[in-house]
């Protein structure tokens, strides 16, 4: 007679996650967490099994950003946790990527010095780098501990939390003590929306009305806050020009007439009042050094400590949720409208349009026979090909990484919906792309995910193509192959076509640090991993490959686009340093 195995701690972990509404877990199993993953799968949770914990942890955190509730990652202890620390750091620094990491741990009965299997004091290790790092005090404390960590990761500023899952808890049959009232946890409500100090709201409204050159900067905090309706409504009502940060793109469609993206330097330099919605004054905003002297900045952030970073506070900044704060601010501005005829608006619009025309010229320059494709031309052909199929950018989600690849593609692909463009983010983390693309495929099953990858960036998590293939995710991966990091192996020469073999530096074993295998057949690697692969060197080949990739919906396609070796440039922080008004990149 078969007996059903007793319910164990693994089941308690799974049922706690079900109670919290977790529907997908990203991770890699091994002893002792395999039982946890199996219990989760049996309980109806999807388990997405990766090839490296780093990619899994990135994916979980991005899932948190896209869905607004914590992404969950499950790994083994010791080395699994060390690899997943990449995701912990990335979650914390991005301030909008809630992540709950769960990891196996040595049994609680083992001494700390026993040298148990993969033993590591993970709670202490992660405590300084997370919002909360916990070990349940007993088996029966598992549900409440998981709930507390889940809750902490998205209450307040989103970030990473951690829970240790000791092997003995996982394997122990549940006694009556665990099956009592402790066994269930109530779902955690979404965090309440914080309203701002009303006196400061009045001060912002007054300053805004008195400003000649007002500007709204839209950060990824606004995207995470799901404030798109409020932000769009506010811009429509007030007619104030806006500038999105890289991941703030899409909160208002790029095509909006008040978008000043292509006049970024002028907007930052000329504004006398800035309403800063969910963006930190960090390197992405040049620490505020490019703002005009005397500019008044009203910052809206969910964290008080964030206000006035790098000396930018004007005594008007508020703590609050962007959606809620705009609902307070809008009534105070009733009747106010920034005039369409203002010299500020005209200047920005003209600069924006002039620069767009200049940029378009590069995109539209047809590649001459025998020449290598340029970044700009490749991106133009890809967008045209995708839009011809999708009809509108709404159905497309872009992930992009790699210094030049991310930088140049950012201004070419048009984003029309929030949270549909992910990039290397606040840490400029390369290697996030494939994990993010996997997360996006799950978060947006009805949309098509396009990963635009530098050849270097791709390499960090290349094996995750197999993950995509296994789950039949129709991600389109485009590799901009210039033979390395930044400008690749050479400065001016085109090493394609045999020259690479003869490159004297290669023969002498003295390649520059930026060099990577120029003729690496990424498309064949992808085929070996279960994807479809294409290698293209010209426009016609690219058009056909994009079309074929679109039509193939049973799994990923990788398009290896061989561009000129040396294309791109050394690190210049591209869009950060570029003066778009005719100036040279520094
Ligand atoms: P970007 O990368 O777009 O420049 P940052 O990551 O620097 O943006 O800033 C995002 C900010 O958004 C963080 O300071 C974070 O605290 C804030 N934030 C997150 N959620 C909310 C919210 N609901 N309301 C207001 N601010 C938020
Ligand atoms: Mg490269």
pLDDT in tens, 189-211: 999 999 999 999 999 999 999 99
pLDDT in tens, 57-105: 999 999 999 999 999 999 999 999 999 999 999 999 999 999 999 999 9
CA atoms within a 13 Å half-sphere pointing along the CA-CB vector of 468: 37
State the ligand closest to the CA atom of 485. 2
Question: DSSP string spanning 23-72?
Answer: -EEEE---TTTHHHHHHHHHTT-EEEE-S-HHHHHHHHHHHHHHHSS-EE
Ligand 1 binding pocket includes 220 (Cβ within 6 Å)? yes
Ligand 1 binding pocket includes 422 (Cβ within 6 Å)? no
The mean pLDDT value for 168-192 works out to 81
- Mean residue pLDDT of the chain comes to 92
Strands across the sheet containing 476-481: 421-422, 396-401, 448-454, 476-481, 557-562, 532-536
Query: What whole-number percentage of the chain has pLDDT above 70?
Result: 92
H or E segment and range at residue 358: helix 343-364
Among 76, 218, 60, 226, CA closest to 153: 60
Ligand 1 binding pocket includes 296 (Cβ within 6 Å)? no
Q: How far apart are CA 189 and CA 167, in angstroms?
A: 30
Pocket residue to mutate for ligand 1, from 278, 281, 575, most atoms within 8 A of Cβ: 278
Split at pLDDT 50, 70, 90, the class of 485 is confident
Q: Which atom of ligand 1 is nearest to the CA of 227?
A: 23
Q: State the pLDDT at residue 484.
A: 84
The token duo for 415 is 């984003």
DSSP state at residue 515: B
Question: Helix or strand or coil: residue 193?
Answer: coil
Split at pLDDT 50, 70, 90, the class of 508 is confident
Split at pLDDT 50, 70, 90, the class of 215 is very high
Where do the CATH 3.40.50.1220 domains begin and end in the chain?
A: 198-349
Ligand 1 binding pocket includes 245 (Cβ within 6 Å)? yes
The mean pLDDT value for 570-580 works out to 46
**Architecture label for domain 365-496+510-562:** 3-Layer(aba) Sandwich (3.40)
- Over 50: is that where the pLDDT of 292 sits? yes
As a three-state string, the secondary structure of 310-345 is: CCCCCCCCEECCHHHHHHHHHHHCCCCCCCCCCHHH
Q: Which of 12-21, 309-318, 445-454, 503-512 has the least mean pLDDT?
A: 503-512
pLDDT in tens, 249-290: 999 999 999 999 999 999 999 999 999 999 999 999 999 999
- Over 70: is that where the pLDDT of 181 sits? no
Phi and psi, residue 73, nearest 5°: -125, 135
- Over 60: is that where the pLDDT of 404 sits? yes
- Over 80: is that where the pLDDT of 394 sits? yes
Let me know if domain 198-349 sits in CATH 3.40.50.1220. yes
Query: What whole-number percentage of the chain has pLDDT above 90?
Result: 85
Report the alpha-carbon angle 197-91-163, nearest 5: 105
Q: Which of 68-82, 88-102, 162-176, 418-432 has the least mean pLDDT?
A: 162-176
pLDDT in tens, 312-370: 989 999 999 999 999 999 999 999 999 999 999 999 999 999 999 999 999 999 999 88
> Residue 376 C-alpha to ligand 2 middle, in angstroms?
14
The mean pLDDT value for 513-525 works out to 90
Strands across the sheet containing 99-105: 46-49, 24-27, 71-75, 99-105, 160-166, 132-134
Q: State the pLDDT at residue 242.
A: 98
Q: Identify which has the larger pLDDT, 486 or 65.
A: 65
pTM given for the model: 0.95
Ligand 1 binding pocket includes 423 (Cβ within 6 Å)? no
Where do the CATH 3.40.50.970 domains begin and end in the chain?
A: 9-178, 365-496+510-562
Split at pLDDT 50, 70, 90, the class of 371 is confident
Phi and psi, residue 151, nearest 5°: -65, -45
Residue owning tokens 């005397």: 294
**Architecture label for domain 9-178:** 3-Layer(aba) Sandwich (3.40)
Distance of CA 19 to the CA centre of its chain: 27
Among 460, 480, 482, 463, CA closest to 406: 480
């Amino acid at each position: 007679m078969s007996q059903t195995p007793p319910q164990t701690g693994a089941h308690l972990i799974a049922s706690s996650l079900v109670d919290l509404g977790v529907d997908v877990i990203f991770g890699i199993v091994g002893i002792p967490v395999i039982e946890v993953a199996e219990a989760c799968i049996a309980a109806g949770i999807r388990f997405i099994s990766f090839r490296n914990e780093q990619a899994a942890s990135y994916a979980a955190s991005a899932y948190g950003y896209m869905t607004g509730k914590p992404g969950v990652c499950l790994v083994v202890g010791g080395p699994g946790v060390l690899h997943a620390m990449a995701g912990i750091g990335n979650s914390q620094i991005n301030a909008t990527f809630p992540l709950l990491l769960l990891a196996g741990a040595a049994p609680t009965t083992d001494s700390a010095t026993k040298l148990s299997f993969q033993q590591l004091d993970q709670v202490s290790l992660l405590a300084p780098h997370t919002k909360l790092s916990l070990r349940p005090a007993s088996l029966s404390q598992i549900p409440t501990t998981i709930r507390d960590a889940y809750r902490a990761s998205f209450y307040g500023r989103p970030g990473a939390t951690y829970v240790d899952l000791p092997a003995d808890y996982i394997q122990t049959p549940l006694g009556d003590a665990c099956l009592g009232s402790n066994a269930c946890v109530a779902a955690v409500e979404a965090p309440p929306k914080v309203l701002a100090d009303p006196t400061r709201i009045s001060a912002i409204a007054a300053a805004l009305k008195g400003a000649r050159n007002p500007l709204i900067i839209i950060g990824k905090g606004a995207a995470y806050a799901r404030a798109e309706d409020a932000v769009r409504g506010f811009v429509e009502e007030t007619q104030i020009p806006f500038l999105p940060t890289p991941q703030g793109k899409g909160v208002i469609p790029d095509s909006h007439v008040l978008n000043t993206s292509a006049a970024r330097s002028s907007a930052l330099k000329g504004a006398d009042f800035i309403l800063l919605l969910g963006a930190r004054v960090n390197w992405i905003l040049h620490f505020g050094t490019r703002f005009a002297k005397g500019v008044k900045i009203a910052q809206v952030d969910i964290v008080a400590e964030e206000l006035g970073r790098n000396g930018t506070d004007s005594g008007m900044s508020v703590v609050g949720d962007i959606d809620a704060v705009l609902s307070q601010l809008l009534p105070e501005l009733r009747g106010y409208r920034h005039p369409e005829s203002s010299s500020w608006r005209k200047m920005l619009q003209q600069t924006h349009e002039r620069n767009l025309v200049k940029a378009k010229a590069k995109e539209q320059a047809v590649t001459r026979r025998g020449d290598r494709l340029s970044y700009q031309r490749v991106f133009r052909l890809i967008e045209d090909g995708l839009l011809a199929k999708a009809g509108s950018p709404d159905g497309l989600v872009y992930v992009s990484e790699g210094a030049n690849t991310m930088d140049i593609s950012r201004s070419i692909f048009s984003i029309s919906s929030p949270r549909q463009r992910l990039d290397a983010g606040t840490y400029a983390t390369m290697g996030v792309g494939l994990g993010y693309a996997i997360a996006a495929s799950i978060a947006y099953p009805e949309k098509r995910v396009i990963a635009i990858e530098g050849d270097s960036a791709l390499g960090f998590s290349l094996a995750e193509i197999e993950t995509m293939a296994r789950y039949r995710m129709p991600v389109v991966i485009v590799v901009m192959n210039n033979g390395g990091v930044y400008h690749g192996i050479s400065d001016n020469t085109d090493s394609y076509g045999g020259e690479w073999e003869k490159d004297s530096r290669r023969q002498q074993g003295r390649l520059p640090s930026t060099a990577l295998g120029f003729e690496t057949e990424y498309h064949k690697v992808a085929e070996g991993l279960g994807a479809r692969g294409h290698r293209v060197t010209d426009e016609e080949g690219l058009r056909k490959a994009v079309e074929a990739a679109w039509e193939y919906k049973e799994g990923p396609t990788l398009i290896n686009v061989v561009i000129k070796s040396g294309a791109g440039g050394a690190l210049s922080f591209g869009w950060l340093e570029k003066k778009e008004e005719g100036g040279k990149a520094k």
